[in-house]
Structure 1
Amino acid sequence: MDNLHFLGERILEKKYEIAKMVHTNRMADLKEIKDVNLTNEEIIELRANFIGYFGQALMAGIDEKTIFDQIVKWAKESGEFASNLGISLSEALEDTTYYRKFIWEVLKEEIRKHNMSTETIFELITIIDPLLDKAVFAFSLTYVNIHQETLKKAKSAFLELSVPVVPITKGIAVLPLVGEVDTERAALLLEETLEKANKLQLSHLLFDLSGVMIVDTMVAHQIFKIVEALGLLGVKTILIGIRPEVAQTMIQLGIDFSEITIKANLEQALLGLNLTIDSLE
């Protein structure tokens, strides 16, 4: 029996022992312990399965591609699990240090005990380290992809909530615009406003800008586009709540709102439509 095959068998025989050492030391060093809904025994079983792949690789009982595929699958599942738990990537990758340390401790003990050659050590390095590196890469890639997808969904949900067209009576709604308007939000603003105006069969939209702190040429241009597009749907837009500092900026930018109806606040806009706040209650 060659040395690598023998060492592979020893890793498989001691995989639970190694897994327990990894788990015990890892838990002791964790900055924050998450509730993973798994028992210690289940976690050790998962760790032991991962360690077993290295024993199989050394024994060469399973071809290299199969081992790589199994490790990638394990790493992807673990990356998804860690991401969903909200564990930071740097914290999650600390596991690699423990796997490397305790797998090599077992190997070094066997190498010394059986007086194995330096050549065997180099052969071990060419097998063990690339497998660990492959696991780290697959884990990190999966974690980052899931994290980015989560952020994308959260941003999309936030953007949709940032265009609240609120009906206040038949044919009339108010759109309170709050915060900064960037290019992405501006595009969604136009799309969502037109869709909701059509769905609600609006005749008037009260565009409340009291929550907008800064108006630049891009924001002003987008407002014009929304007003023009709504006009094509037969919806009249009334701008309300323009802040004094925003009004001053508009003048300095040379923005012309003379063709658009502007009111100081919601009450004035409703009075102009022969409505009062009391009549809406």
Structure 2
Amino acid sequence: MDNQLLYLGKTIINRKKEIAQEIHEKRLADARVSTEDQESFQQINDQIIEIRANFIALFGEALMRPSEQQTAYEEMRKWAEETGQYIYKLGIQLDEALKDTSYYRIYIWKALKEEAIKLNLSAAIIFDLISIIDPLLDKAVHDFSLTYVKAFQSSLESAKTSFLELSVPVVPLVPGVGVLPLIGNMDTERAQHLMEETLKQAGKLQLTHLVLDISGVLIVDTMVADQLFKVIDALSLIGVKTIITGIRPEVAQTIVTLGLDLSNISVKANLHQAFKEIQLIKEM
């Protein structure tokens, strides 16, 4: 029985390029990729065919070593991690990549069926094949998907970090005076980042006054207001006076409705008024 599995494994390995090519051509045909596109991506096609062939070879190796299931799983995990990263970097969607699963199942079993008929294999051998091939393919799908999702999450976190860094641009105007234009919605994470970065940049720029322009903030609720008040209080502790500008009419109505108290905060209609007040204070 082991000799038959060994033979089938060697057959799969020997035919890996042939099977990979069949899968690739069928995949392109079903996806209706034009001849022009196929030619323009010929280099990447060759790489993908090589990836497919290496993947198919893992099944052949697993058949040759049926008692070493854990080794087969470990090799499959390594392939899935490397390929998952590669496919993600190519910009291929996960659901599109996973469509390959059915093609591998069909064409690997097609090759095995051809050999099974030639050798007149017993039902026992067929069940052995099923117990090796199908779980290994499931393992590949699981590990590939996990790697792809992790790569996506990492990229998302990196983009989010970059966005947060760009979302707190304290712009120095004249010595001691800066302006911080806030744009978009405020959530808890961004509010925390706002606190940290504003204090850091205020100290670095040696500010005495900061104009906090919220004309780009569409929604102000109790959470947003509370976070802004905390930023203003923290700035006052390091000697920075804050002036709020750009309160939109609908935001002003919301503030009144919520009963928020701005009596202890300097509020101006626009940047011009804020700069004028700062200039008067500096002249005193």
- What TM-score results when the alignment is normalised by the length of structure 2? 0.91
Matched ranges for 1:159-238 at <5 A? 159-238=164-243
Matched ranges for 1:113-192 at <5 A? 113-192=118-197
Name stretches of at least 5 consecutive residues in structure 1 with no aligned partner: 276-281
> Partner residue of 1:49?
54
Residues 41 and 241 from structure 1, CA distance in 2 versus in 1: closer, same or farther, beyond 3 angstroms? closer
Matched ranges for 1:14-93 at <5 A? 14-30=15-31, 38-60=43-65, 63-93=68-98
How many angstroms does 1:72 deviate by? Answer: 1.1
Question: What one-letter code is carried by the residue in structure 2 that aligns with 1:258?
Answer: S
Measured against aligned partners, the alpha-carbon deviations of 1:200-232 in whole angstroms (never above 9, x if no partner) come to 000000010111122111111111111110000
How many angstroms does 1:31 deviate by? Answer: 6.2
Question: What one-letter code is carried by the residue in structure 2 that aligns with 1:187?
Answer: Q
Residues 109 and 96 from structure 1, CA distance in 2 versus in 1: closer, same or farther, beyond 3 angstroms? same
Q: Distance in 1 between matches of 2:248 and 2:48?
A: 58
> Partner residue of 2:270?
265
How many angstroms does 1:27 deviate by? Answer: 2.1
24-33 or 105-114: bigger deviation: 24-33
How many angstroms does 1:30 deviate by? Answer: 3.1
> Partner residue of 1:8?
9
SS in structure 1 opposite 2:214?
strand
Check the 8 A contact 1:36/1:85 in 2, yes or no: no
Residues 175 and 36 from structure 1, CA distance in 2 versus in 1: closer, same or farther, beyond 3 angstroms? farther
- Pairing partner for 2:107 from 102, 106, 109: 102
- Residue-pair matches, total: 275
How many angstroms does 1:121 deviate by? Answer: 0.9
Question: What one-letter code is carried by the residue in structure 2 that aligns with 1:18?
Answer: I
Residues 30 and 131 from structure 1, CA distance in 2 versus in 1: closer, same or farther, beyond 3 angstroms? same
How many angstroms does 1:14 deviate by? Answer: 1.3
Measured against aligned partners, the alpha-carbon deviations of 1:103-129 in whole angstroms (never above 9, x if no partner) come to 100111111122111111111000001
SS in structure 1 opposite 2:182?
strand
> Partner residue of 1:279?
none
How many angstroms does 1:159 deviate by? Answer: 1.4
Residues 89 and 36 from structure 1, CA distance in 2 versus in 1: closer, same or farther, beyond 3 angstroms? farther
Residues 271 and 95 from structure 1, CA distance in 2 versus in 1: closer, same or farther, beyond 3 angstroms? same
How many angstroms does 1:69 deviate by? Answer: 1.6
Measured against aligned partners, the alpha-carbon deviations of 1:118-170 in whole angstroms (never above 9, x if no partner) come to 11111100000111111111100000001011011111111111111111111
Measured against aligned partners, the alpha-carbon deviations of 1:68-93 in whole angstroms (never above 9, x if no partner) come to 22111111111001111111101011
**Between structures 1 and 2, the one with greater helix share:** 2
Residues 40 and 85 from structure 1, CA distance in 2 versus in 1: closer, same or farther, beyond 3 angstroms? closer
**What is the RMSD of the two structures over their aligned residues, measured on CA atoms?**
2.0
SS in structure 2 opposite 1:259?
coil
How many angstroms does 1:41 deviate by? Answer: 3.7
How many angstroms does 1:61 deviate by? Answer: 7.9
Percent identity between the two aligned chains: 56
Question: What one-letter code is carried by the residue in structure 2 that aligns with 1:168?
Answer: L
Name stretches of at least 5 consecutive residues in structure 2 with no aligned partner: none
Q: Distance in 2 between matches of 1:183 and 1:99?
A: 46
257-266 or 110-119: bigger deviation: 110-119
Question: What one-letter code is carried by the residue in structure 1 that aligns with 2:255?
Answer: M
Q: Distance in 2 between matches of 1:56 and 1:27?
A: 27
Check the 8 A contact 1:7/1:110 in 2, yes or no: yes
How many angstroms does 1:63 deviate by? Answer: 2.9
SS in structure 2 opposite 1:181?
coil
57-66 or 29-38: bigger deviation: 29-38
Q: Distance in 1 between matches of 2:167 and 2:128?
A: 59
Q: Distance in 2 between matches of 1:51 and 1:142?
A: 19
